[in-house]
Structure 1
Amino acid sequence: MQAIETKLKGCFILEPTIFEDDRGYFFESYNEEKLKGILGYKPIFVQDNQSKSSYGVVRGLHMQEGEYSQAKLVRVIEGAVIDVVVDVRPGSGTYGEFIAIELTEQNKKQLFIPRGFLHGFSVVSENAIFFYKCDNGYNKSSEDGINPLDTELNINWQIPLEKMIISEKDKLAQSFNEFKIKNLI
């Protein structure tokens, strides 16, 4: 497995070693000791989640705050997504910056997202099955988020606006500026 730290400290792209032959392929999708070696600590994942979405779906930008914040290890089992993380860790040198990477069933890349990041993705294939491990359980009262179409962040979801499928909750989510004001940033 190769680990590439992104411009957002602590956020890593993980590229597996894939063994392929005429029977198919094999790769190690998770190894606790290897991840510990990359991160410098051992995350304890307590919840796995999986979603299926169709082309044009944009999910996010979501996070949990405080004692319920979550680190995540995400990947695509089927299809392709543009995965986006935004650094909103107070005092971070990259606060407000984001990365967007393509995760596909073909490239089998994973993204480790530390606590303190907003997360979202858009589906750029006909369908996508998205899988993620979380180091903390879901807690509705600690949810926070930003509208995925926020003009200050100006994220390119690689989906034409007229074809985007966004939940009402996400459409009504606060702007990045409102998020900063609320958090006194």
Structure 2
Amino acid sequence: MKINTSLSLFTAGALLSASFLAYAHNGGAPASEYDANGDGVVTAAEILAVKTADFTAADVDNSGALSLAEYLNLENTLQTRRIAAAFAKMDVDLDSNITLAEFTASAPANTAAYLTNVFKLADKNADAGVSLAEFTELQSKGANGGVWEFARLDASADQLLSLDEYTAVPAQPTAPTASAGGERGGKAGKR
């Protein structure tokens, strides 16, 4: 029997931040990143202009080509920019802090407990808010990426994993729905 947890992880992560995961045809970036004139329409010229500017900025030795180091730096820069944009979209009261209500605003009831647990784990200083630094750490590809899986396994939401929680066999999803995004691999909230 194949156990599929990627569906539940994807669903919760997709609900976390539509702006972070709702990517257009433009190579994985949010459409708003390329909408230079703010008209809601992204043209090929706008995409080319932003990608050209990003490439030029990353080409620190002005060689006209990116080395692996330059490319990795560009990827980090793009990830930082996208995380900041997702944070800004979620921070509706513009206080530079995401509250639990803002964090779970668009989540259906069946994911609220999971996202509440993720929020508590991300709120490192326990001030009832997730700062941009905490949000960045939560979304980053580094070692902190395990927060999403930890929160999923932590059924009691006590920020501790018991042996029973760790070894529990997740329920097999019946049938993916269109709103859940179908069966997709990868970890939620990660780019």
TM-score (norm: length of structure 2): 0.21
Whose radius of gyration is greater, 1 or 2? 2
Between the two structures, name the one with larger relative contact order (CA 8 Å, sep ≥ 6). Answer: 2
Q: Which has the higher strand share?
A: 1
Structure richer in helix, relative to its length: 2
